Structure 1
Amino acid sequence: METKSRRQKRKESLLAKNQKKHQSWLQDQKSQRMKRKSGDFKLKKENKIKNSQSQFFKENDIVQRVSELKSEKDHEVNKSKMVKGKKGLKRTSRTKFEEYLEMEMPNSDMLAQEDLELERKLTKKLKVKGGKLRGDDDGLNILFEDVPSALESWNKEVLDEGFSDEEAVDPFSSKKRKKKKSVEQAFEDDMTGDSTSEASELKEHAETALEEISAKAPSRKRRRKRKSLPQGQEDDMAGETALGVSQLSESHDAEVALDEASAKAPAMEGNVKYVAPHLRSCARNESEEQTQMRRRVRGLLNRLSESNVESITGEMATIFRSVSRSVSSQIISEEVLASCYNGPRGNEQHAAVFAAFVAGMASLVGMDFSAKLMALLAKIFEEEYLKEDNLSLRNLTLLLSYLCIFGVCSSDLIYDFLIMLSKRLTEIDVSTILTVLQCCGMKIRGDDPATMKNFILSVQNRVNELKTSSGDGQAKINGKRMEFMLETICDIKNNKKKPKEDTVQHTRIKKWLQKLRVEDILIRGLKWSKLLDPDKKGQWWLSGDMASATDNIEEVASRIDKEALEAQKMLELAAAQRMNTDARRAIFCVIMSGEDYIDALEKLLRLDLPGKQDRDIMRVLVECCLQEKVFNKYYTVLAAKLCEHDKNHKFTLQFCLWDHLKELDSMPLIRSMHLAKFMAEMVASFTLSLAVLKTVEWSNPQMLSPKRIMHFRMLFEAIFEYPDKLIWNMFTRIAVTPELETLRQGMAFFIKEYVVKSTKKVNNKFKVAKKALSNIEGVLM
């Protein structure tokens, strides 16, 4: 064990000594504070007791003097009844008792009034109710328990003098009438004969003194009680002369009970029983936090306009992240839809602003927000449809149309909605279809013309059914609204209706949404029936709010196992194809597991690869195409869409093809054939031009090896399979540029020597290409 040095021991002893000194100083300070507090409270208590005792002694002295004077008068009256009776009747001078009352009673009344006023001020400042301090119990009520008020001291001493409990509790109440009656009875019993005049005078003086005290003291309490009463009870109380302290104490107790109940209310909210997420829609009791959030959301939406939609969307996204996603999505969706369908007739500008807000929120917080909002929109639409509220239906339809315009939902949802309406084709349905077609009819026609054709056929079939039905159906067909809808459908079908030009504000909103990459939150394959599905099957955005069904657990587990097995196989295949980095393996799995080119494109764009790793997308795609046993156009379409989305992919593809052209001598024939067809497809789709062949040395016979000749023969034969018009346009693209003269000459020489001589069928195609190469003006067919 290590021995401490002398210096360390001295240091430790010094620290212990200082700590003891500090503790003793703290105890001394604490004891001094307690002494000061106890001294202050004792002083206050003594002053209050002295004041209350002085007040009572003065009043008690008056009562004793009154009784002494009465006894003296009675004695004198008994001595000389007959002599002084007549003098008493004719007396005009004041007695000593009257002079004493005039001298003493105002002073005692003033003292009582001052004490009551002081106590009222103290109770108001300290917020005392029911003898206890309001607010949190900090132990001060225990100190005040032994300090009596003026009223309590009055009650105690009056009880000692022999009054009843009721009289002591309520000295100024209407029960004082009993006291006056007892005084009157005493006067009547004691006074006899001709002494009735003096007795009546004495009784009158006592009554006036007591009435002055009772009228002055409780006047403020009587006014306060009248204010708290209803109008009817206030009229009933107008006739009463005084207010009882017992009634005041009851009202104080009721107020204290109410205050305690309101103070316990927030504490009760914290102990609310847990409710499962899928049952929270049934229990609509919101907490204080949710109520405040709803109020903030409503305030922001009331200020929403085209000029501040960006800033308000940012603030709303901050509010959205402050609480759980399910609660915030529900509150914001409800307030957005309430602002749209509740109220006056909404215009397209109003709907466009709210749709842009929804698109911005979905871009900032996730696609599930917009999906939940559309599900709630469909539910409210069906409810308002049953009420036949045309105004609400029009507002909701405008919002849905602009959600499609701003890229929140696809045209598939709008088509499904229109076909559902066309099957009923009532007057409300016709009005709704007109609203959709006028707002976004040309856009959905451009997105999917085939589905537009199906919708038109559905409307025509329904109209024919109405024609063959009774006269009521004929009246519906001949309506002006129906005629206008059919004319609008014909104009859209024949492409006669001009699409609406975007205003300056809409253009600015669309640019803002493009910065937020709104194309990433487009929900495809969504149907109106899926939004209204009561079983909530397929509604992926409700995964956290739905109770898991126990009957399909095995099915879900087997599907997860199957997907995991497929993912493992895909990774093994990626390793076999020399995908040696995580980025390349991820790209390979996305391309090979995509349902179609749209699904693969969306997943590739969501990878969000850092730095220059996005260049691997095009290299992996070309490699997958060349590895196939049979040429697949899926890769060419996906490559064209990627180049259309970002020009960087186009440059990467060009460099990738040049690298593969350098390896033609060592490349297997099947890969060379796939590469030739891939390049022909890229040139035919105008993703690339024939200028990609400018690195080939056509004039050097030594560079044209048999494998190279075979590859370029397959390339030009694939190009000559396209129509003449397309061939003309492909070769015209390189005819305009003067720097590509050597390419044009070498290409014409190669086609003439190696392609036309071997296959005479392409002679006519070669003539078209030769003319296009000399088309300096660049006129396209």
Structure 2
Amino acid sequence: MEKKRVNLKRKKKTKFEEYLEWDMNRSGVVSGEVDLELERKLAKKLNVKKGKLGDLDDGLNLLFDDMDFDDIINDGNSEAPMEITEFCSLKRKVKKKKVLDEAEKEELEDETEKKHKKRKQGMLEKKGEDEVMGNLSKEEAGVGAPPSDGNVTYVAPHLRPSVGKESEEHSQIRRRVRGLLNKLSESNVESITEEISTIFRSVGRSIGCQIIGEEVLTSCSGGPRGNEQYAAVFAAFIAGMVCLVGIDFSAKLIASLAKSFEDEYLKEDGLSLRNLTLLLSYLCIFGVCSSDLIYDFLFGLSKRLTELDVSTILTLLQCCGMKLRSDDPAAMKDFIINVQNRVNESKSLSGHIQDGQQKKYNKRMEFMLETICDIKNNKKRLKEDPAHHTRLKKWLQKLRVGDVLLRGLKWSKLLDPHKKGQWWISGDITSTTDNAEEVATTIDKEVLEAQKLLKLAATQRMNTDTRRAIFCIIMSGEDYIDAFEKITRLDLPGKQDREIMRVLVECCLQEKVFNKYYTVLASRLCSHDKNHKFTLQYCLWDHFKELGSMELIRSMNLARFTAEMLASFSLSPAILKTVDLSDPKLLTPKRIMHFRMLFEAIFEKTNMIIWNVFTRIAIAPELELLRDSLKFFMTQYVASANKSSVRKFEIAKKALGNVAGILM
């Protein structure tokens, strides 16, 4: 029991206490080997490696290294015990080995520290580049980059894409668009257009126009020699995109095309010029841009008439020459005269050109003149056969490509670097003249006209900004197409678009003499959007209720307006179902006069139109009362009062009984 207690006590003692006990009792001094074993155990417990702590060096090892155990041992004692001598000799050996280990360790630490510093510098360099350049890859910012000087310039987030590369999101969109365009063909152009239009709506309009436009032009100009089919498919894709996303897409793309053409012209790259010319030609054929732009482009080429110009003119005329001739024969005549004069001038200067180039130039020139002669004589070539691209044209007609035609553009306007805002809509007043006084006079006239229109709008009870804007557009339109395009660009929110038809009908009724301009514009609006058709029906019903107190001139204009809308098939005679034309109590003299003028205006049309107008309500069984009332009214008040209308009335009567619904 006593031995066990002693052992327990010994187990409780620390190594330091055992060392003190050894020091106090010299008679029980341990051997040097036991001491070394004790030192190793302490080193293992304290995590000491090669004389130093593993984590942090507290400086004590340096202090102990400077101490000489020989001096300590021999100080005051000439004779040292054998155990101490052996201990010191072992300590010297350990110290020598320790010095060698320290030298190796210092070399290893120097190499490690150099690598650590190098890696740290690379990380700092990478961090500085990332702040400036945005999303750079790790490979570009490599570890072995040169050390940074510490002067890193801050770049705002909205400016970083312009400083560095394209963002990852836009790069993915670009790759996706490029992949779809690579698959583009006549069989899948509809589906790919739908998919790319969805991608376009997922990003900003400017970014979408830029990415898709760049990829289209790269595919067309940067590739091999393109043919007409290739250019036609891409032009159809552009036309479909314009119908789906807006007219600004085509305007920006054609401006980029013009810029690319001029750049390639300076490089004298005939292949790219031909591909871009084919694309421009088919954009005109499919109704994206008007022939005015092509004529302006042709006149610019004919002024220089170099070899590249002759090739470009030849490509244009072969592709869309007959369409240009049919669109504007007078402009084609002026162009032919201009080319002939320029050819005569070039022949007089032909001596300055080398023989080889002269022969090649003369052949191209002769071929161009033959093509112009064929167009002048209305000789169609196989390439301009109307049967070509029928499928693409039918698809674009369904999308109403005629509504997105760019008008009034000039080639110089496309290349103008200072164009701002919606330049494809605002016109080209300032760029067509250099005379400041003439421009000022034009602006003053426009301001005066606008002021007059606003005063007139106030007199016509146009009491809201929306009604005044619609009134000014309708009254200032150059023609019904110009007015239609401006009205559709108003983009009125909510139910404000209902004011369009009401203002239009009011303008028509205020005229002293009936103007068919309003009916053509109304028909175009009805065919563009069914909501305008429904609004017009309700508007006419409201005016029918006011016939008893309506002025004669307004009633006459309303009757002519309604008759024209029925004759153009924009409205059906079913709109008359709200008016009981068979009840004598409701047929006041003013109402009889109004509807008599309406039917007489219809009877002025051809027999085919009369037949088709009344056949539209011959089939529906719910309109039987309307058919009976129309027969009664026309018999009593139209045919009996005007004998010249009897024959027309018989046609209308047969059409109302046309149960089969067969149209003429």
- TM-score in same-fold range (> 0.5): yes
Pick the aligned partner of 1:375 from 241, 255, 258. Answer: 255
Partners of 2:593 and 2:102 in 1: CA distance: 126
Residue 632 of structure 1: how far off its partner (Å): 1.8
Structure 1: runs of 5+ lacking an equivalent: 1-38, 55-103, 137-254, 276-284
Percent identity over the alignment is: 56
Selected match of 2:571 from 667, 688, 709: 688
Q: 1:269 to 1:286 in 2, by over 3 A?
A: farther
Change (3 A) 1:49 1:408: farther
Q: Deviation at 1:423? A: 7.5
- Would the aligned equivalents of 1:385 and 1:393 in 2 still touch at CA under 8 Å? yes
State which of 256, 260, 263 in structure 1 corresponds to 2:148: 260
Shift of 1:629: 2.3
| Residue 386 (structure 2) pairs with residue 497 (structure 1) | yes
* 1:671 alignment partner AA: R
The answer on 1:710 being equivalent to 2:590 is no
Could you report, residue by residue, the CA deviation over 1:512-535 in whole angstroms, capped at 9, with x for unpaired residues? xx5xx9887653221224324588
User: What letter is aligned with 2:548?
Assistant: D
1:688-745: CA deviation from partner (whole Å, max 9, x where unpaired): 2444434444444443332223223322332333344444444454556666566556
Question: For residue 453 of structure 1, what is the aligned residue in structure 2?
Answer: 329
1:644-689, Cα deviation, whole Å (9 max, x unpaired): 1122322332332233223222211111111111112112222224
The answer to whether the 8 A contact 2:200-2:208 is kept is no
Aligned to 1:116: 107
Equivalent residues of 1:467, 1:474 under 8 A apart: no
Structure 1 residues 566-715: aligned runs within 5 Å: 573-579=456-462, 583-715=466-598
Shift of 1:498: 1.1
User: Match for 2:423 among 531, 537, 540?
Assistant: 540
Residue 524 (structure 1) aligned with residue 407 (structure 2): yes
Aligned equivalents of 1:369, 1:399: Cα separation in 2: 15
Cα distance in structure 1, aligned partners of 2:397 and 2:563: 36
Deviation, structure 1 residue 127? 3.5
Describe how 1:101-140 pairs up with structure 2 within 5 A.
112-127=103-118, 135=124
Residue type matched to 1:43 in 2?
D
Conservation of the 8 A alpha-carbon contact between 1:627 and 1:671: yes
Q: 1:127 to 1:540 in 2, by over 3 A?
A: same
8 Å CA contact 2:193, 2:241 repeated in 1: no
**Rounded Cα–Cα distance in structure 2 between residues aligned with 1:682 and 1:741:** 22
Q: CA deviation at 1:559?
A: 8.2
Q: 1:142-169, CA deviations, whole angstroms, 9 ceiling, x for partnerless residues? A: xxxxxxxxxxxxxxxxxxxxxxxxxxxx
- The question of whether the paired residues in 1 share the 8 Å contact of 2:242 and 2:404 is answered with yes
CA deviation string 1:413-434 (max 9, x = no partner): 3454456557877775675467
CA contact (8 A) 1:415 1:452 kept: no
Q: 1: distance between equivalents of 2:476 and 2:61?
A: 92
Normalising by structure 2, report the TM-score: 0.62
Matching of residue 385 in structure 1 with residue 265 in structure 2: yes
User: How much has 1:400 moved relative to structure 2?
Assistant: 2.9
- In structure 1, what is the Cα distance between the partners aligned to 2:241 and 2:62? 67
> d(CA) in 1 for partners of 2:224 and 2:465?
56
Contact 1:355–1:402 (8 Å) recurs in 2: yes
Asked if structure 2 preserves the Cα contact closer than 8 Å seen for 1:294 and 1:332, the reply is no
In structure 2, the residue matched to 1:287 is 163
Q: Alignment partner for residue 345 of structure 1, among 195, 200, 225?
A: 225
CA deviations 1:190-244 (Å, max 9, x no partner) are xxxxxxxxxxxxxxxxxxxxxxxxxxxxxxxxxxxxxxxxxxxxxxxxxxxxxxx
Offset, 1:636: 0.7
The Cα RMSD (Å) is 5.7
CA drift at 1:558: 9.3
- Supply the distance in 1 between the matched residues of 2:405 and 2:630 (Cα, whole angstroms): 45
1:303 matched to 2:303? no
Equivalents in 2 of 1:120, 1:299: separation in Å? 46
Equivalences, count:
541
Amino acid in the other structure paired with 1:125: H
Letter matched to residue 497 of structure 1: P
Match of 2:48 in 1: none
**Is 1:43 the counterpart of 2:57 in the alignment?**
yes
Deviation, structure 1 residue 500: 0.7
> How far apart are residue 121 of structure 1 and its match?
1.6
Whole-angstrom CA distance in 1 between matches of 2:242 and 2:320: 21
User: Which residue does the alignment assign to 1:203?
Assistant: none
